[in-house]
Structure 1
Amino acid sequence: VNGLKINGTNNTFPEDVRLALLSIYSLVFIIGTLASTATAVSIVNSNVRSVTTMAVVNLILVHYIFLLTVPFRIHYYVARQWSLSYSFCKVVSATIHGHMLIAFIFYVIILVIRNISYFKRVDKLEFYRKLHALAVSVTIWIVIIILIPVTFHMYGTQETNNNQCFHFGQEVKNKYKAKVLNYVISGVILLTVSGLTSCQVYILGRVLWKHRSTACSHQEFWAQLKSLLFILVMLVCFLPYHMFRIYYVSNYDKAMENKNEVFLAMTALSCFDMLIFLGKNTCITCSVKHCI
């Protein structure tokens, strides 16, 4: 079967694309769940007043919410048709976009806080009380909950048939506001990642120059290396999608939807980010509460 037949018409669904998406989401579900759970268990006794710890805890929660929807994507690519409601299709589709954007926000928070700590020469920035950390987290999630209906309303208003899902490209083509929103989001992410990358390379360069041949024996080096790994997650998972997204929105073609889905699936690989805390010289080795 080289294509997906829906309601008597042959909708192009290349087998290589289907297998690629199935493989990516299967790996994301298995590895993402294990890595997030392992980090969550390790972080239980950490300092919850730390701004970075607060961001990591919320990042894990974002991953969990997204991972709950991944089995439905896997089932879709196995069964080759969507057997649930169209509204739920929109929810699952919006979730991956929400996951990408919210995870990006928390990456920025983590990196900015770590950079401030470096330049101010303090071990970590903390809230005065645990209640303050909880209040900030709740505020962030309230904003997120307000934005979800906006995303849900933006896409999928032109229902085609109930057996197909995740094909909302026509909406971008026909809606000027949706097109502008995509340009703004992609532009902001590209510029922000570029700025953070430059800053992190500069900081790491200073640390290497300071310690030189003994850099690997200093915790400061490993702390900055972890920050660089978060940068690499964004470079690998987010940049390809948003670079393609600008081209896709500007030159929309039905045949490009499958490529867009593959690039979008790559953003889900950011669920692997908790592996940063699970290797040598990372948080499991010296305990999460001392490393993040």
Structure 2
Amino acid sequence: MLPWLLGLVIFQAGPMIASLVLSFTEYDLIGSPAFVGFDNYRRMMEDPQVARSVYNTAYYTVLHVPLAIGLALVLALMLNRITGRAAGVFRTIFYLPSMTPYVAVGVLFLFLLNGQAGVVNQFLALFGIDGPQWTTDPAWIKPGIVLMSLWNLGSTTIILFAALRNVPGELYEAALIDGAGPWQRFRGVTLPMISGALFFVVIINTIASLQLFDQVYTMFFGNQIAQQSYGDSALFFVVYLFQQGFQFLDMGYASALAWLLFAVIAVITFVQVKVGNRFVYYEAEER
């Protein structure tokens, strides 16, 4: 266990403790840290950009998590119906987007969502729909980012697919004998039996949504001139944290922002665990 413990201390626990200490200082990465007490945390309460970035992040999370899990479940149900050699091929195809670098995905969707020549708006035009300006209109930027994030559902789909494969077939047979229809079998057998996996993907997708950074920064913050056209509509919390730490070299304030994010994620995860355990079926508890 020693190599793992060293990695934990050096690359995770150590930097976390260091950032906690820095959150009580004013530090520009050049001079020595100067202790300022709780000034950075008081500053967060008065910073309008913090409120804006929190709103954008919450907006994205509320939209992305249910849409991503719902679509991943549909894909997993489709995979579960495929048999033979084609099953492995389709599982690979569905998982491949998860291996694409986030920066590449951001650049790709910057072109796909282009308001004038993007493929998405060209597709909508086939049905007589005038597509919005996904990357410049403040009202459509966050929905466009949600649409982009649905590209990467491979991991969630495979987790739910594995859960579906573990549902005992005799339960479906018993439900069929009792006269249960497709929706009744799905609601009464499938959902309870995969509730543990659903609970898990809800938590990990929520955490990932609150930490969104790579794709958004690639799409919207590489061009400062373009950034002026949409204001703060794409300013997510981790993007603002990154700006404070590495653009403005205010590492003390950035560390305080990081610990705020850590606290928010911890609280949300705690609530999810407490609430989710009431609805999750654990087969071991029935024995």
When the two structures are superposed, what TM-score results if normalisation uses the length of structure 2? 0.27
**Larger CA Rg, structure 1 vs 2:** 2
More relative contact order, 1 or 2 (CA 8 Å, 6+ apart)? 2
When the two structures are superposed, what TM-score results if normalisation uses the length of structure 1? 0.27
